[in-house]
Amino acid sequence: MKLLIKIFVLILLSFSNPNAQHLFPLHVGDKWLYRTYVNTYPVYSIVCDTLMSNGKHYFRMANNQSLPELYRQAGDSVFSFNTLLKKEYLIFNFNANVGDTISCLQFVPEMLTQVITLFSKGTNEILNVNRSSFTFWLQYPELTEGSYLITITDSLGITYYGGEGGEQNLAGAIINNIQYGNLVHVKIPTEIPSNFYLAQNYPNPFNPATTINYSLPKSSFVTIKIYDILGRDVTTLVNENKPIGNYSIQLNASKLVSGVYFYRMTAEDFVQTKKLILLK
């Protein structure tokens, strides 16, 4: 009987991804440096592991722009723990087929739906090495500009995050005390913008911080303000003369309540408004 059980376990393992535990590395001290198109360099790191109320251990990933995220991996699956709802949900499954829905979550009271599907999988050259990778598509059907792609690469974790609001590409990392790529901030020349442009904030939804990128084709007086759902002025992010160039600004909404907000950019004759959602 014991022999049959061992054979059964081996058969199950043969159908799982043998490299799954390496795809999404989780070690205390791991660090990732990303580069955005406006030459900012957000850094994420795993600061500790912790036991949550469901009796499971999670690794706490944090950066200087948002609240820590809690992750754990079990076989081919990666889970995130929601501290508000006090429960975990599935976010990535490396044994899925392209087009499979990984999860479909409802956020209340915002009545917002998050759908995660496996968009593609294959081999890509990352940091000068060919590695297997999985790209997941995060969609928020209620938002007109609410979709993002996240690529997870073997041994490196998240190597790309991109959507309407901009993108982040992995520049370097330290995984289990091994360094990959470049951890030095290297400025890359950016093109001079040809038009006024206001990007969708990312991440969106967010808690409590999010990034807004914008571009100026010439020196202009710029105003970017945040409004609540009733149109009341909540805060001003930018209100000054700016030279030509690409810019990135962070909104910290730690003192705001959950809900739908709007941000509006005004520069000369250019006026544009976009929606953002704060989920706490």
Q: Supply the pLDDT for residue 211.
A: 87
Report if residue 228 sits inside a domain.
yes
- Please check whether residues 226 and 138 belong to one and the same domain: no
For residue 162, what pLDDT is reported?
Answer: 84
| CA gap 44, 31 in Å, rounded | 6
**Does the residue 35 lie in any domain?**
yes
> Of 122, 150, 181, which marks where a domain is finished?
181
**Same-domain pairing of 229 and 166:** no
Residues 159, 205, single domain; the answer is no
Q: What is the tally of structural domains in the chain?
A: 2
Q: What is the mean pLDDT of the chain?
A: 83
CA-wise closest residue to 34 among 127, 159, 138, 211? 159
pTM given for the model: 0.73
Q: Looking at the structure, do residues 35 and 100 belong to the same domain, yes or no? A: yes
Count Cα neighbours of 119 within 13 Å in the Cβ-side half-sphere. 15
Domain span at residue 99? Answer: 19-181
CATH number for the domain spanning 176: value is 2.40.360
CATH number of the domain bearing residue 274: 2.60.40.1930
Query: Considering the domain boundaries, does residue 188 fall inside one?
Result: no
The answer to whether the beta carbons of residues 175 and 168 sit under 8 Å apart is no
201 & 177 share domain = no
pLDDT score of 105? 82
Q: Does any domain span residue 187?
A: no
Q: Are residues 151 and 270 in the same domain?
A: no
| Same structural domain, 145 and 217 | no
Domain assignment present for residue 5? The answer is: no
How does pLDDT run across 143-196, given as a tens digit for each residue?
Answer: 766 788 999 999 899 999 887 667 889 999 999 999 998 877 655 555 678 899
Do 137 and 105 belong to one domain? yes
Q: Look at residues 129, 150, 181 and tell me which one is the last residue of a structural domain.
A: 181
Cα distance between residue 28 and residue 175, in whole Å? 9
Q: Is residue 215 a contact partner of residue 246, using CB atoms and an 8 Å limit?
A: yes
Mean pLDDT of 60-84: 83
CA 161/CA 32 separation, integer angstroms: 13
pLDDT of residue 13: 35
- Tell whether 56 and 94 lie within a shared domain: yes
Q: Are 120 and 98 in contact (CB under 8 A)?
A: yes
Q: Which of 129, 154, 181 is the last residue of a domain?
A: 181
Domain check: are 148 and 27 in the same one?
A: yes
Do 238 and 130 share a domain, yes or no?
A: no
pLDDT for residue 16: 41
- What 3 state SS string does 123-153 have? EEEECCEEEEEEEEEEECCCCCCCEEEEEEE
Write the pLDDT tens digit of every residue in 88-135: 999 999 999 999 999 988 765 556 788 999 999 999 888 888 899 999
Tell whether 216 is covered by a domain: yes
Q: Both 104 and 131 in a single domain?
A: yes
In a domain, 63, yes or no: yes
Nearest to 146 by CA among 205, 82, 73: 205
Residue 8 lies in a domain: no
